[in-house]
Structure 1
């Protein structure tokens, strides 16, 4: 092989190696209390600290946003809500079941998500228990009006603790919240995993 050819091949290999590293670096894993981790899709970033902000009621909020070119129009964001304390009930499945065991609880939830979405909002997908990733969630989707963001609201129980997700988007098509669902599917419990010393 001629010297210029060898140089060209070396440059090509180097470019591919850098490309591979860049691709691998895109999927960022974020660890947050209480013992959870998620994987962020390409173009998404953590806003603030992975410790989040804890309200007076003990609800922790960790914020994420999409900053890719594709999200310039959709303005997608996701918030993960957690509580450190254990919920009442038997096992994660039993605790989740109890969350909306009564019609009043379901009604209150629907009113809350419509109010959070904005004036004249509608229900796009009903409040129901669905499997997303490795676990069951209660999920409801709203349809926004008048330039407000539509919402994906989901709740589950992991290791006895409450976990909620709120994702919002200006997207109006059939495919909405795909990144939010990807984040939810990636959610893992780090319970029992020792932190590196």
Structure 2
């Protein structure tokens, strides 16, 4: 049950077994309450469980997720897919209902950009200097990755490249230190200018 493996015939059998277990539970509840139980359900439930499992495989493939899971997870896989799809379907219906009623949901920050709609370079400098290194690395992960690519492609001048390399050289033990304590004044200014340019801010 704990061994990791890809989808195979054994997984398909486990989904059919899961469907039959659900059949038994539903039959017991139906009979104990005096309700009738349609025998066709015995066939329909395992098929539905397998369909949800296969849909989950397709969604994982589209998202590039690992297709290896432990045995116990494969048993739960169709149920997890059903719950996830149900959640997003419900959320979509809820959002559409609000939209039809003229109510707009607030837009979340989706790209990790700074908290300023119009960036003030001076305030931005102060915030970076006071921030911990791990917060800077997390909030500007995308911009830093682009800077590293530029550095590897030799598209930065020597001072800029030096700062980017230094940023990459820190180990996790230094992540809780403030940015200003890890860089010299000219280095931090160079990095902040690069960051502002990556964010599309005119620094001239």
Given the two structures, how large is their TM-score scaled by the length of structure 2? 0.24
* Bigger strand share: 1
Of structures 1 and 2, the larger Rg is shown by: 2
Q: TM-score, normalised by structure 1?
A: 0.24
